[in-house]
Amino acid sequence: MNTATRVGAFGAGVALTFGAAFGVGQLVGPIGEEPRPSHDAHGGDGDGGGDGAGHGGHEGPAAPGGLQISERGYTLVPPTEPLTAGERTDLTFRIEGPGGEPLTAYRTSHEKELHLIVVRRDLTGFQHVHPERGPDGTWSVPITLEGAGAYRMFADFLPEGEESGLTLGADLAVAGEHTPEPLPEPAATDTVDGYTVALAAEGPVRAGAEAALTLTVSRDGEPVTDLEPYLGAYGHLVALRAGDLGYLHVHPQGEPGDGVTPAGPGITFHTTVPSEGTYRLYLDFQHGGEVRTAEFTLRVGAADHDDPDHDDPDHDDPEHDDPEQDDAEHGTDTAHETDDAEHRH
């Protein structure tokens, strides 16, 4: 657990552009714009697990992962007993394969056989850890969950013989009194252990459209240009949707040693956000031999019907060229936005 001083988050449905040479995001639109009511049917956020968000297209983005405990014959078996807040303990679990036996054959993905994400349902207490697997297929990792409450655990893995990975999710109870914390309001930067991380997008982040997000790391006002490889990249980004904690796969651009990807200060990721609403982003980056986590709140606007890549056969009005008017008239009407509003309070 790092001892971060949290000062921020990033709101979208807003436009951010890259600043000077080392890319600090410069605001060109309102921060933290609330998602608007919408009549768009292209949100694509079903309750299935899926393989994470894809890269857009006329069929819409894939559903987020982590919403199912079982998928494609694989099942996450979590602990049966509650953990104790503030107490270091071994978190043990297993993955069962299609035949019901513990899975023992995995392919390496991002330098690990399995990535475990644990976060409280109010999106605090985020941890990204890497358990060790025993010969019988049981995974174990020492962990301390500081606050009591309802948590969600996500197992991200690629079974041997499969071409695509899975993210399975299960609830995890931590005993003790608990008061949920409100989600931080959006802002463009976060500060952690003396590092400032700024989040910028190439344009408005909208439901169903591919987005490129660049996170720029500085320290004492100077760009950090010697980030260290972590899990095969210069950063690892997890995005969770408020309300149901849908898990988005966010793909880094380039990799260390490829001859074109610099070691900072900017780290660029690509994703397609499945629905408008509120998301929490967690960037893990390594510098000076230590991994730190910067956190951001992202508010995503409704799908842009003026985008020629957006599949909307009913939208044929050539006079619809006002983004603000479109924002007010289009979006998604799923129940998740109601959940998001409740979790922010």
126-179 tens-digit pLDDT: 999 999 999 999 999 999 999 999 999 999 999 999 999 999 999 999 998 899
Tell whether 271 and 338 lie within a shared domain: yes
Comparing C-alpha atoms, which of 17, 16, 24 is closest to residue 266? Answer: 24
Question: In degrees rounded to 5, what are phi and psi of residue 132?
Answer: -105, 145
Residue 339 has pLDDT above 60, yes or no: no
Tell whether 337 and 294 lie within a shared domain: yes
Last residue of a domain, one of 147, 175, 203: 175
Whole-angstrom Cα Rg for the chain:
20
Per the domain annotation, does 1 fall within a domain? no
What's the mean pLDDT in 267-283?
A: 95
At 280 the pLDDT is 98
Q: What is the pLDDT of residues 63-88, one digit of tens each?
A: 899 999 999 999 999 999 999 999 99
How far apart, in whole angstroms, are the C-alpha atoms of residue 57 and residue 54?
Answer: 9
Residue 236 has pLDDT above 70, yes or no: yes
Task: Compare 49 and 68 and report the one with higher pLDDT.
Answer: 68
Tell whether 189 and 170 lie within a shared domain: no
- Domain encompassing residue 233: 16-59+185-344
Q: What pLDDT band is residue 308 in, cutting at 50, 70 and 90?
A: low
In contact, 327 and 36? CB cutoff 8 Å: yes
CA angle 99, 135, 164 (to 5 degrees): 50
Tell whether 265 and 128 lie within a shared domain: no
Q: What is the pLDDT of residues 179-225, one digit of tens each?
A: 999 999 998 999 999 999 999 998 889 999 999 999 999 999 999 99
DSSP string, 155-171: EEEEETT-SS-EEEEEE
At 17 the pLDDT is 28
Comparing C-alpha atoms, which of 62, 89, 16 is closest to residue 247? Answer: 62
Question: In degrees rounded to 5, what are phi and psi of residue 326?
Answer: -60, -45
Per the domain annotation, does 218 fall within a domain? yes
Tell whether 96 and 221 lie within a shared domain: no
Token pair listed for 321: 């060229």
Per the domain annotation, does 2 fall within a domain? no
Tell whether 168 and 229 lie within a shared domain: no
Q: What is the CATH number of the domain that holds 171?
A: 2.60.40.10
Compute CA distances 185 → 76, 193, 310, whole Å. Answer: 33, 20, 29
Q: What is the pLDDT of residues 100-125, one digit of tens each?
A: 999 999 999 999 999 999 999 999 99
Tell whether 47 and 191 lie within a shared domain: yes
How far apart, in whole angstroms, are the C-alpha atoms of residue 52 and residue 254?
Answer: 19
Q: What is the pLDDT of residues 2-22, one digit of tens each?
A: 433 333 333 333 333 223 222
Q: 218: how many CB neighbours lie within 10 A of its CB?
A: 19
Q: 38: how many CB neighbours lie within 10 A of its CB?
A: 23
At 213 the pLDDT is 96
Last residue of a domain, one of 121, 154, 175: 175
DSSP string, 28-81: -S-TTPPPPP--BS-----S--TT------TT-PPPPBSS-SEETTEEEE--SS
Tell whether 250 and 165 lie within a shared domain: no
In contact, 197 and 174? CB cutoff 8 Å: no
Tell whether 326 and 199 lie within a shared domain: yes
Q: What pLDDT band is residue 304 in, cutting at 50, 70 and 90?
A: confident
Tell whether 221 and 329 lie within a shared domain: yes
Residue 99 three-state SS = coil
My answer on whether omega of the bond before 265 falls inside 30° of 0, hence cis, is yes
Per the domain annotation, does 142 fall within a domain? yes
Tell whether 213 and 322 lie within a shared domain: yes
Q: What is the pLDDT of residues 325-337, one digit of tens each?
A: 444 343 334 333 4
Average predicted confidence (pLDDT) for the chain: 79
Last residue of a domain, one of 150, 175, 200: 175
Tell whether 137 and 196 lie within a shared domain: no
Per the domain annotation, does 337 fall within a domain? yes
Q: What share of the chain is helix, strand, coil (3-state, %, to 5)?
A: 5, 40, 55
Name residue 210's amino acid. Answer: E
Residue 34 has pLDDT above 90, yes or no: no
pTM here is 0.74
Counting the structural domains of the chain, the total is 2
